[in-house]
């Protein structure tokens, strides 16, 4: 099949800086249509799946649950509930390896094989309902940012009343190499994404709703452009450049507005939501289906059949890999998320969460051993940094432990996108150095506040 | 020729005198009045600027002492005699604190605790913690990447066998390492307390034994053989009660099955020997 | 059936998984490839040197590279660094740059001294690659110029300038051993030649603006001589003469993004404007700007020496300030200084100012706003 041509009416925008990985790995899985994973015997749903307060578990061992039934309820405003991925029996709380490497609490559910739905909330006629109803439904269905951060969506939709929001941007950039989950969703379910976008726009009281997509997904763009008018949603193309989908960069590319240091997108009148989130919102509002499954890319050179799978929350990585036929050779790295910002894992016992956009295995030959050559001040990192920082200087300050000076180089503005460390010819661990600076500075300010 | 020499010597001498006078005059006119006591105290302080007192260096501490905001006992480094001298200068009574030293409460060196994952990154505990909690299979054990050793202003910590060990004779108990360790393994204990339980993991014994050969499994042998109140049981591990610490004989009396109840000297020796053994093997 | 599939499926054991911080992929470019690209960019200038100065130039290049590599390895041995450090190619680049800064006829021991100054004093005492505040080749050049002024200003004519082109290489090959220069001088007439810059330096300055002043530099600054300067047919250091070859190298450097374009642009621009102004006011004091751009080490410095990544400011604005500073300093030394050429001195001086410039020219982050002093409310 030939690549489709880009529609001439498409506006193509970009930001300043960034990198463009030559080998982006999307070819492995971008042609594989979404498959639904078969029912498993057991799911281990990690309790803390969203940024903010972890939800409060409301089931206990021995309870019978139905598919979509509440497992844990929101604990506070910045928190969302959690629902059961299938019907069956709660085995209890277990400790499983978490995505950050430390053990974390999960609810283990033994499936009964019937996969029966619980009684779902009724459909909402979103075109004629008010914003609060929509926000409430989005919260109740446990919807979070599915691009990676897992920030509760209803919180984003409720900016402080003094901030006037006039732009809703749906992030379909998927700028991370290897990942194709959002691509497939936009291509196969353009109506869902567009409808979700329109619902999100209504919930935030915004007229301008655009879906921004990198132009390496021409088929998805064309599919959506056909339907866009009926939902009154605009489509914007973006140059293929990492990190095009980072919130601040995306807003700048689409609206030319710069989110000031330390401010939120709402300060410049924008709200950004992920394309996968939009699709989940459409399901939640139209059918009352809570967020219990998501499309995840399982890919990497060692994977036998890379593809895009609709996986339920709590699916162990090892089971997910089995769906793809396992591995050809022992991989060098297991990453949750993309290769630029994803987290390396130490075991396959981790389970799929609401923000698991990808399960990536890297070949041993791609896992470069860390060798710190000295900085030769070539300036590649300065060119790559989308935030216009000086990573080379920050890295040296981290090595010298000069935290105060690092603040003068605006270390806290770093979005940890990894473009600098990707581009560094000396292969310096720039991002790790900057993370350390940020962690140390946060600790210090905390201590000062305590005093 | 001679006149030239005399002339130049004269000229330079006069210039020197004039400038000297000028400097003296200016320092008198614009000098900031300081309490002479501050200088006296500063003279007595160790001058390591370790920050163990909580002030920004010895000069800051000296000012705080003179202004009465601090007491000499807050300096963890100074010896008893020095503190007495400082108290004398300040004209105050000295409340004598016990001398404290640091101890790393982990026995999991590279032979005892498995390094589960290959780690590829900055060789520094704090940085390693940021990557999936570090490579060690015990999520509470010493990472052995020497962040504490680098932070120690007295070079009192050595990494032996992938484990941080404190040299008691060098440690002054300033506490910089305590703040540095990302796993909070280091404690300040009375220098007289010789026996420690080298494990800080709060996990269940079964889990600990999977990853480590020398964990505290809370068998309470030590608690039973010791006197009342010498140990406290904290969840799944036993801790030495440093307000009422046991004597050295407890080690032989208790016969710790996991070898994590040791005197500091024994612990040090074990690590040294293991390291030597590794070289031979 | 499911049994069959299960047998085939292999899952990662997880024991060999590597933990590391993101990002997990990197560019293939590394320091070695950067250095090799720099070498590639130097090739046109080196070829021009050999074309115009023959075997002696080749010999100087050989000695400089050899000594630099050997001294680097020796230092690494002594300092306990792995000797494989030499593989990064930085010593090779320094060696070639050093050769380009030496006269075409230079004795081997001068090359050795130069390599010593460049690698040890210029680079390794500061901690090696990336740590040195001064351009190693410029350190060596200035050090040698002060220590051995005679050897370092011993200019030979290019092969295009002598009538006896057939014997050229042979004669100067003999001269390569500096002790035999006297003998060589008896064989061929006009064994030394002045560089255009030293001629300009020695021309008496005329301060009033008469016809004599306008014609003061006519002999060395006319369209015909400009062409010769451009292609490199003149006396001078072996790598600095051919503007054409250096420009080709400069284009290679720029296209690989190995240098910051601000440095050559602002350096050359400042020299052109500065000398242009002086020439306009007092035509008898200095030749026109084109003469300054084409002669001496300016082109070499603007594209290869000043642009050294390690010793030039990392930000674009900093690089511009750096270039302007270089231009002013070079002109001042050329017009009023005691030396005919001032690029190496100005590079060293500006190198020293780099930390200061970088402080001035810090980048402002995306969405930067001045911290508002207002508190409370």
All domains of chain A in start order, with CATH = 39-112+292-366 (no CATH), 134-287 (3.40.50.11540), 380-450 (no CATH)
Lowest-confidence region among A34-43, A99-108, C4-13: C4-13
Reported as a pLDDT band with limits 50, 70 and 90, residue C8 is low
Structural domain boundaries, residue B67: 36-90
Query: Mean per-residue pLDDT for A160-179?
Result: 91
Angle (nearest 5°) at CA A417 between A411 and A423: 95
Contact B260, B197 (CB under 8 A): yes
Mutate: best of A98, A104, A334, A344, partner B, most B CBs <10 A? A344
Chain segment B32-44, per-residue pLDDT in tens: 777 778 888 888 8
Is C21 in Cβ contact with B121 (below 8 Å)? yes
Chain A residue closest to C23 (CA)?
A340
Question: What interface predicted TM-score (ipTM) does this complex get?
Answer: 0.86
Is C19 in Cβ contact with A431 (below 8 Å)? no
Q: Tokens standing for B45?
A: 């302080």
Q: How far, in whole angstroms, is CA A447 from its chain's centroid? A: 31
Roughly what angle, to the nearest 10 degrees, separates helices A190-204 and A218-231? 50
Q: Can you say whether residue A337 is alpha, beta or left, with left for phi > 0 and alpha for psi between -120 and 50 degrees?
A: left
Residue B27 falls inside a structural domain: no
Is B119 in Cβ contact with C21 (below 8 Å)? no
Q: Cβ contacts (< 8 Å) between B117 and chain A: which residues?
A: 346
Asked if pLDDT for residue C188 goes beyond 50, the answer is no
CB atoms within 10 A of CB B93: 8
Looking at chain A, the whole-number percentage of residues with pLDDT higher than 90 is 59
CB atoms within 10 A of CB C377: 3
Chain segment C260-301, per-residue pLDDT in tens: 999 999 999 999 999 999 998 888 888 899 999 998 889 999
Q: List strand residue ranges (DSSP E) for A137-238, in order.
A: 167-172, 208-214, 234-238
- Looking up residue B239, the CATH number of its domain turns out to be 3.30.70.20
CA contacts within 13 A on the Cβ side of B39: 4
Chain segment C67-92, per-residue pLDDT in tens: 999 999 999 999 888 877 888 899 99
Lowest-confidence region among A138-152, C249-263, C302-316: A138-152
| Same-domain check for residues B110 and B69 | no
Task: Answer with the one of B50, B67, B90 that is the final residue of a domain.
Answer: B90
* pLDDT (0 to 100) of residue B271: 82
* pLDDT (0 to 100) of residue A370: 61
Asked if pLDDT for residue C139 goes beyond 70, the answer is yes
Is C365 in Cβ contact with A388 (below 8 Å)? yes
- Looking up residue B58, the CATH number of its domain turns out to be 1.10.15.40
Is A258 in Cβ contact with C366 (below 8 Å)? yes
Is C21 in Cβ contact with B130 (below 8 Å)? yes
Q: Cβ contacts (< 8 Å) between A343 and chain B: which residues?
A: 132
CA distances from A107 to A63, A71, A79, A351, A388 (A): 11, 8, 17, 11, 43
Mutate: best of C19, C25, C26, partner B, most B CBs <10 A? C19
Q: What mean pLDDT is reported for chain A?
A: 90
Q: CB-based contact (8 Å) between A100 and chain C? A: no
Contact B125, B139 (CB under 8 A): no
Q: Cβ contacts (< 8 Å) between A19 and chain C: which residues?
A: 27
Cα–Cα dist A396/A377, whole Å: 11
A130 burial via Cβ count (<10 Å: 0-12, 13-18, 19+) = exposed
Q: Cβ contacts (< 8 Å) between B120 and chain A: which residues?
A: 367, 369-370
Is A322 in Cβ contact with C9 (below 8 Å)? yes
Residue B197 falls inside a structural domain: yes
Residue B95 falls inside a structural domain: no
- What letter would DSSP give residue C165? G
Asked if pLDDT for residue C26 goes beyond 70, the answer is yes
Cα–Cα dist A113/C377, whole Å: 59
Is A431 in Cβ contact with C16 (below 8 Å)? no
Q: Which residues of chain B have pLDDT under 70?
A: 1, 93-98, 114-117, 277-281
| Same-domain check for residues B79 and B171 | no
Roughly what angle, to the nearest 10 degrees, separates helices C108-115 and C136-147? 130
Residue B26 falls inside a structural domain: no
Q: Cβ contacts (< 8 Å) between B179 and chain A: which residues?
A: none
Q: Cβ contacts (< 8 Å) between A367 and chain B: which residues?
A: 120
CA contacts within 13 A on the Cβ side of A397: 23
| Same-domain check for residues B83 and B138 | no
Q: Can you say whether residue B185 is alpha, beta or left, with left for phi > 0 and alpha for psi between -120 and 50 degrees?
A: alpha
Beta carbons within 8 Å of B2's beta carbon, 6+ residues apart: none
Number of domains composing chain B: 2
Task: Answer with the one of B66, B90, B114 that is the final residue of a domain.
Answer: B90
Domain ranges of chain C: 29-195, 201-233+259-359
Residue B15 falls inside a structural domain: no
Chain segment A417-450, per-residue pLDDT in tens: 999 999 999 889 999 999 999 988 988 888 777 7
Contact C283, C21 (CB under 8 A): no
Q: What mean pLDDT is reported for chain C?
A: 84
* pLDDT (0 to 100) of residue A1: 40
Q: Cβ contacts (< 8 Å) between C18 and chain B: which residues?
A: 117-120
Is B132 in Cβ contact with A101 (below 8 Å)? yes
Q: Cβ contacts (< 8 Å) between C17 and chain B: which residues?
A: 117-118
Query: B-contacting residues of C 287-346, CB under 8 Å?
Result: none
Mutate: best of A20, A303, A330, A349, partner C, most C CBs <10 A? A330
Asked if pLDDT for residue C167 goes beyond 90, the answer is no
| Same-domain check for residues B132 and B204 | yes
Mutate: best of B56, B117, B122, B210, partner A, most A CBs <10 A? B122
Task: Answer with the one of B90, B119, B152 that is the final residue of a domain.
Answer: B90
Q: Which helix (H) or strand (E) holds B119?
A: strand B118-120
Q: Which of B120, B130, B133 lies at the smallest CB-CB distance from A435?
A: B130
Residue B257 falls inside a structural domain: yes
B72 burial via Cβ count (<10 Å: 0-12, 13-18, 19+) = buried
Q: Cβ contacts (< 8 Å) between B124 and chain A: which residues?
A: 436
Residue B116 falls inside a structural domain: yes
Cβ pairs bridging A and C (under 8 Å) = 188
Chain C residue closest to A260 (CA)?
C367
Chain segment A281-325, per-residue pLDDT in tens: 999 999 999 999 999 999 999 999 999 999 999 999 999 999 998
Q: CB-based contact (8 Å) between C16 and chain B? A: yes
Dmax of chain B from CA atoms?
96
* pLDDT (0 to 100) of residue C214: 74
* CB environment A263-278: b (16+ within 10 A), e (fewer): eebbbbbbbbbbbbbb
Query: Mean per-residue pLDDT for C33-42?
Result: 95
Mutate: best of A19, A39, A253, A333, partner C, most C CBs <10 A? A333
- Global confidence as pTM: 0.85
Could you tell me which residue, C15 or A389, shows the higher pLDDT? Answer: A389
Please provide residue B193's backbone torsions phi and psi, each rounded to the nearest 5 degrees.
Answer: -75, 115
Is C130 in Cβ contact with A374 (below 8 Å)? yes
Q: Nearest CA to A42 among A260, A297, A270, A351?
A: A351
CA distances from A212 to A20, A219, A225, A255, A264 (A): 18, 14, 11, 11, 19
Please tell me the distance in Å from B216's CA to the nearest CA on chain C.
26
Q: Cβ contacts (< 8 Å) between C362 and chain A: which residues?
A: 390, 408-409
Asked if pLDDT for residue A16 goes beyond 80, the answer is yes
CB atoms within 10 A of CB A157: 25
| Same-domain check for residues B118 and B229 | yes
Q: CB-based contact (8 Å) between A359 and chain C? A: no
Residue B25 falls inside a structural domain: no
The sign of the dihedral angle between the CA atoms of B9, B13, B15, B19 is positive
């Amino acid at each position: 099949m030939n690549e489709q041509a880009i529609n001439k009416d498409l506006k193509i925008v970009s930001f300043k800086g960034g990198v463009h990985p030559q080998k982006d790995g999307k070819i492995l899985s971008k042609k594989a249509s979404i498959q639904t994973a078969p029912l498993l015997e057991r799911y281990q749903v990690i309790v803390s799946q969203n940024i903010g307060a972890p939800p409060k578990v409301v089931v206990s061992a021995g309870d019978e649950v139905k598919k979509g039934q509440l497992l844990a309820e929101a604990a506070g405003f910045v928190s969302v509930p959690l629902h059961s991925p299938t019907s069956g029996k709660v085995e209890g709380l277990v400790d499983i390896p978490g995505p950050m490497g430390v053990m974390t609490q999960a609810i283990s559910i033994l499936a009964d094989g019937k996969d029966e739905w619980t009684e779902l909330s009724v459909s909402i006629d979103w075109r004629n309902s008010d914003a609060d109803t929509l926000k409430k439904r989005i919260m109740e269905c446990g919807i979070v940012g599915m691009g990676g951060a897992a920030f509760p969506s209803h919180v984003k939709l409720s900016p402080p009343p003094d901030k006037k929001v006039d732009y809703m941007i749906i992030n379909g950039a998927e700028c991370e190499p290897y990942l194709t989950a959002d691509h497939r969703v936009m291509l196969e379910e353009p109506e869902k994404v567009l409808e979700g976008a329109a619902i999100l726009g209504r919930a935030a009281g915004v007229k301008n709703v655009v879906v921004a997509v990198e132009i390496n997904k021409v088929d998805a763009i064309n599919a959506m452009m056909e339907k866009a008018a009926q939902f009154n949603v605009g489509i914007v193309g973006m140059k293929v450049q990492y990190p095009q989908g980072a919130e601040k960069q995306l807003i700048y590319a689409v609206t030319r507005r710069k989110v000031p240091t330390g401010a939120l997108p709402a300060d410049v009148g924008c709200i950004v939501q992920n394309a996968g989130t939009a699709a989940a919102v459409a399901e939640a509002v139209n059918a009352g289906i809570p967020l219990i499954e998501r499309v995840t890319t399982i890919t990497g050179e060692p994977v036998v059949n890379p593809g895009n799978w609709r996986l339920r929350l709590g699916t162990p990585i090892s089971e997910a890999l089995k769906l793809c036929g396992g591995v050809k050779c022992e991989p060098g790295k297991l990453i949750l998320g993309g290769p630029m910002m994803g987290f390396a894992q130490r075991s396959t016992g981790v389970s799929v969460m609401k923000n698991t956009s990808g399960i990536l295995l890297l070949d041993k030959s791609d896992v470069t051993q860390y060798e710190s050559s000295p900085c030769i001040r070539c300036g590649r990192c300065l060119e790559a940094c989308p935030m216009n920082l000086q990573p080379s200087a920050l890295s040296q300050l981290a090595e010298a432990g000069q935290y105060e000076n690092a603040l003068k180089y605006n270390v806290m503005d770093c979005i940890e996108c990894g473009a600098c460390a990707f581009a560094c010819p000396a292969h310096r661990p720039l991002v790790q150095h900057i993370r350390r600076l940020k962690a140390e500075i946060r600790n210090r300010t905390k201590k000062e506040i305590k005093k | 020729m001679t006149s030239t020499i005399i002339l130049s010597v004269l000229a330079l001498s006069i210039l020197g005198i004039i400038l000297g006078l000028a400097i003296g005059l200016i320092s008198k006119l614009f000098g900031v009045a300081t309490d002479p006591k501050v200088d006296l105290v500063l003279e007595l302080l160790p001058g390591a600027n370790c920050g163990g007192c909580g002030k920004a260096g010895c000069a800051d501490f000296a000012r705080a002492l003179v202004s009465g905001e601090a007491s000499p006992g807050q300096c963890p480094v100074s010896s008893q005699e020095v503190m007495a001298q400082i108290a004398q200068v300040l004209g105050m009574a000295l409340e004598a604190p016990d001398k404290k030293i640091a101890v790393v409460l982990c026995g999991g060196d590279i032979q005892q605790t498995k390094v589960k994952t290959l780690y590829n990154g900055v060789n520094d505990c704090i940085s390693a913690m940021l990557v999936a909690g570090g490579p060690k299979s015990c999520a509470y054990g010493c990472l052995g990447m020497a962040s504490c050793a680098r932070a120690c202003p007295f070079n009192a910590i050595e990494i032996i066998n992938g484990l941080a060990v404190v040299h008691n004779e060098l440690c002054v108990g300033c506490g910089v390492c305590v703040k540095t360790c990302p796993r909070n393994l280091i404690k300040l204990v009375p220098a007289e307390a010789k026996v420690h339980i080298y494990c800080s993991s709060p996990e269940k014994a079964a889990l600990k034994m999977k990853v480590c050969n020398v964990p505290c499994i809370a068998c309470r042998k030590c608690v039973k053989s010791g006197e009342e109140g010498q140990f406290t049981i904290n969840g799944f591990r036993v801790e030495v009660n440093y307000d009422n610490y046991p004597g050295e004989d407890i080690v032989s009396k208790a016969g710790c099955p996991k070898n994590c109840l040791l005197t500091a000297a024994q612990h040090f020796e074990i690590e040294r020997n293991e390291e030597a053994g590794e070289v031979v093997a | 059936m499911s049994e069959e599939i299960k047998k085939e499926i292999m899952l990662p054991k997880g024991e060999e998984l590597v933990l590391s911080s993101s990002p997990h992929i990197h560019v293939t470019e590394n320091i070695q490839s950067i250095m090799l690209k720099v070498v590639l960019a130097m090739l046109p200038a080196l070829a021009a040197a050999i074309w115009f100065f023959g075997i002696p130039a080749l010999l100087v290049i050989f000695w400089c590279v050899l000594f630099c590599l050997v001294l680097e390895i020796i230092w690494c041995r002594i300092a306990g660094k792995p000797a494989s450090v030499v593989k990064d190619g930085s010593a090779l680049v320094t060696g070639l740059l050093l050769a380009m800064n030496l006269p075409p006829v230079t004795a081997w021991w001068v090359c050795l001294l130069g390599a010593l100054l460049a690698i040890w004093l210029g680079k390794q005492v500061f901690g090696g690659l990336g740590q040195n505040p001064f351009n190693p080749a410029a350190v060596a050049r200035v050090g040698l110029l002060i220590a051995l002024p005679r050897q370092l200003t011993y200019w030979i004519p290019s092969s295009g300038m002598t009538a006896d082109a057939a014997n050229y290489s042979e004669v100067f090959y003999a001269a390569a051993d500096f002790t035999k220069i006297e003998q060589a001088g008896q064989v061929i007439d006009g064994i030394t030649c002045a560089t255009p810059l030293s001629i300009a330096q020695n021309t008496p300055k005329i301060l009033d603006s008469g016809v004599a002043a306008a014609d003061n530099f006519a002999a060395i600054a006319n369209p015909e001589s400009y062409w010769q300067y451009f292609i490199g047919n003149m006396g001078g250091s072996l790598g600095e003469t051919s503007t054409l070859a250096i420009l080709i190298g400069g284009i290679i450097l720029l296209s690989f993004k190995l240098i910051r374009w601000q440095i050559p642009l602002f350096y050359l621009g400042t020299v052109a404007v500065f000398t242009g102004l002086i020439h306009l006011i007092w035509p008898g004091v200095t030749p026109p700007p084109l003469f300054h751009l084409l002669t001496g080490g300016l082109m070499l410095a603007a594209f290869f020496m000043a642009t050294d990544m390690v010793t030039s400011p990392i930000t674009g604005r900093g690089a511009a300030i750096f270039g302007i500073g270089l231009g002013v300093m070079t002109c001042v030394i050329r017009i009023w200084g005691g030396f005919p050429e001032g690029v190496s001195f100005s590079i060293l001086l500006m190198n020293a100012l780099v930390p200061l410039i970088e402080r001035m020219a810090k980048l402002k982050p995306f969405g930067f706003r001045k911290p508002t002093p207002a508190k409370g409310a």
